[in-house]
Amino acid sequence: MVTNVALGQKKNGKKNNVPTVAKVTTDTTKWRKDFYIVDRDSAYSDPRVGLRKLMGGNMRFVEGKSIRPRQDGKTIKELENGQAPFATIVGCSDSRVPNEVIFDQGLGDLFIIRTAGQVSAAASYGSMEFATLMLGTKLLVVLGHTECGAVAAAVKRPENVPGHIVTLINEIKPAVAKCAHLPGDLVNNAVRQNVIDQVNNIRDLEPIMYKKYKDGEIMIVGAVYDIHTGKVEFLEETMQGSPLQKLKK
C-alpha cells in the first residue's frame, strides 16, 4: 500500500505553502511493527489477539501515530449486510473518551455500550449478551477513566440529587467504600475499584455471560483511560485467572 503525504516545499531556504507529495510505503513488515498492527480477523477469532489489537491502537493514539483504519466508503459498503466487531467496550459516556479514537479503530470494529460511570442495568446487560451471542464477539472490556464525574459524585454524596442520577451514585458507592482506607486520590482509586467490581459482576451474570466466561469462550477484562495522557491501562487484577484454555491457540 502506498500513501501520499503532503510536504511543504522550500524555496531560498524558506518553507512555502505549496505542497509536494511524498510516497510512503505502508503495510510492510517494518511498518506493521512500527505501528503495532494486529490482524483484524485474528482479533475477532481470539480475544487475546483482540486485546493486543486494542493495546496497539492505543499506543498509536498516545504516540501521535493514529492510522484511522476502516473509515472509508469501501468499509461502509462492506458493512451493509452485517457487522462482526472484535471487541465490546462497556464504557463511560464522558465525551472525552471516544472509544474508536483512543483505540484507533474503525467502522464495525467495536460494539460500544456507554453510560455514566459505565453503570449497567438490564438494557446494557442485554446488549452485552447480543454482542456475544448474535455477533460472536469474544472480548469484552470494561473501560473507566480518571477524574470520572459519576464516581466523584459517589465520593461526595450530595444531598437532593435530581432525577435518576441517584441510581448511578448508589451503584458506585460500594466501590468508594472499598477504597476509603487507601492512600492517594479517593476518586481515582474508586474509579479503578469500580471497574474491577463491574468486571466481576459481568463475569457472574447469569445465564449467558457467566457460562461463556466460565467455559473459556470469552474474555472479560477491565481498563482505565487516563484523561491527562490518553493512555489506557489494562488492570492486572482483571487480566489473571481467565479460563481461556478451551480457546484454540
Residue by residue, what is the 3-state secondary structure of 89-124? EEEECCCCCCHHHHCCCCCCCEEEEEEHHHCCCHHH
Q: Which helix (H) or strand (E) holds 7?
A: strand 2-11
- Per the structure, the count of domains in the chain is 1
Assess if residue 163 is contained within a domain: yes
CATH number at residue 92: 3.40.1050.10
Cβ(117)–Cβ(150) under 8 Å? Answer: yes
pTM of the model: 0.88
The three-class DSSP label of residue 20 is strand
Assess if residue 54 is contained within a domain: no
pLDDT value, residue 108: 98
pLDDT value, residue 24: 46
Domain of residue 165 covers 69-239
pLDDT tens, 191-201?
A: 999 999 999 99
Which grid coordinates are listed for 172? 458506585
Assess if residue 209 is contained within a domain: yes
Q: Is the peptide bond before 47 cis (omega within 30 degrees of 0)?
A: no
Assess if residue 247 is contained within a domain: no
| Positions in the chain short of pLDDT 70 | 1-25, 245-249
Assess if residue 158 is contained within a domain: yes
Assess if residue 104 is contained within a domain: yes
Assess if residue 223 is contained within a domain: yes
Assess if residue 2 is contained within a domain: no
